[in-house]
Amino acid sequence: MQSFNAHYFDGKKSIPKSVTLELHDNFVRVLELDISYGFKDIEIRAKLKNTPQTVSFPDGSYCELDAADFFCLKNDKFILKIESKIRYALISFAVLALFVAFSLTYGAEMLANALSPQIPQSAVEKISAQTLEFLDKNYMSQSKLDNKTQDFIKRRFDKFLNKNADFTLHFRESELFGANAFALPNGDIILLDDLVKLEENREFNGIMGVLAHESGHIVHMHGLKSLVKTSISSAIIGYLSGDFSGFTTALATTAVDAKYSRDYENEADLYAMEMMKNSNIPTKYMADLFDAIVKKYEEKTKISEYSILSSHPAMKERIKKFREDENSQGINP
Ligand SMILES: [Zn+2]
């Protein structure tokens, strides 16, 4: 049973009497006067919000209640309950929508940045090894480049770019991925034959640029961050839709596709430019190699879904960037 403080007016005198109004299942009782009125006989008149509300009784007497108390009265309770439920539902929905939007954008980025460095090295190794194994089994084969070329590229890479970091270069061939290169979070960099074949510079300076770019992805942990972000999105989408199938496939796709965000690509490009500058490799060679890739793929009618062009959009912009860099012609040409 609920009770409220009210002012009772007998309908004759305008002097109020402080009373307690008890709310029972189907009647109200004015405690001090010991009078009860059935619910069906009382009239509840809603007034302006936040002003005292009136409950009129059949004998001409009435009570004034605080607005908050009044709204608890049973007759109105039902409607108010519904209204507040709708309001709460709307608020909850808005909060949920904001949370989802946040989690998929800034929240995901923040979480990815915070979580990626915490992933144990053993897990990083395992994810990377399994990905390479998966790719080798399904889409790649051993490189057909001669040993001399492989050794030359490896030595050059070790000398210029691999001084302070632990990267491992793997040569492979893949019809599906075409002229491409990609990095795995543990430091493995996979260089595909078709890309090497497009290089016209005998020192493989363009390839060094690409390898530097891939090193940038590893150093900045773009692979792991993308993986964390994809996992969050997939988990949320799975939770909301009840369909978790995207969760498992997304993990594989992120690693294989290497479709990083534009920000990650820019970051890796900046890293490559810095590395090339430090090693005195003119960035124009990177632009030359990109030009050759564009030309090669323009000749074909269909561009592979996994080519470097689709995993690295805005290629023309990137060519311009590398061609116009201050180190485009090298520091000591
Ligand atoms: Zn990239």
Query: Over the stretch 280-328, which tens digit does the pLDDT of each residue have?
Result: 899 999 999 998 888 887 776 555 555 566 656 578 888 889 998 888 8
How far is ligand 1, taken at its centre, from the CA of residue 196, in Å? 16
How far is ligand 1, taken at its centre, from the CA of residue 331, in Å? 25
The pLDDT tens digits of the residues spanning 211-263 come to 999 999 999 998 888 888 777 766 666 666 666 555 444 544 554 444 577 88
β-strand pairing of 17-23 with 168-173 = unpaired
Question: Which residues, at least 6 apart from 197, have a Cβ–Cβ distance to it below 8 Å?
Answer: 179
How far is ligand 1, taken at its centre, from the CA of residue 117, in Å? 20
Q: Which of 76-90, 111-125, 265-279, 284-298 has the lowest mean pLDDT?
A: 76-90
How far is ligand 1, taken at its centre, from the CA of residue 213, in Å? 6
Q: In terms of Cα–Cα distance, which of 87, 86, 209 is closest to 157?
A: 209
**Positive or negative: CA dihedral 79, 82, 84, 86:** negative
Cα separations in angstroms, 93 against 37, 87, 101, 102: 41, 10, 12, 14
How far is ligand 1, taken at its centre, from the CA of residue 235, in Å? 25
Please tell me the predicted confidence (pLDDT) of residue 191: 95
- pLDDT of residue 333 exceeding 60: no
How long is the chain? 333
Q: In terms of Cα–Cα distance, which of 59, 58, 60, 76 is closest to 4?
A: 76
- Extract the tokens encoding 38: 């059935």
How far is ligand 1, taken at its centre, from the CA of residue 118, in Å? 23
Helices (H), the chain: 67-70, 74-104, 106-115, 121-138, 147-160, 193-198, 205-219, 222-241, 245-257, 262-278, 284-299, 308-311, 315-324
How far is ligand 1, taken at its centre, from the CA of residue 62, in Å? 78
* Beta pairing partners, 175: none
How far is ligand 1, taken at its centre, from the CA of residue 265, in Å? 5
In the DSSP assignment, the letter for residue 145 is S
How far is ligand 1, taken at its centre, from the CA of residue 87, in Å? 47
Please tell me the predicted confidence (pLDDT) of residue 252: 46
How far is ligand 1, taken at its centre, from the CA of residue 261, in Å? 9
Cα separations in angstroms, 24 against 2, 21, 30, 258, 313: 7, 10, 11, 68, 71
CB atoms near residue 324 (< 10 Å):
11
332 near 278, Cβ under 8 Å? no
Please give the Cα distance from 48 to 83 (Å, whole number): 17
Global model pTM greater than 0.85: no
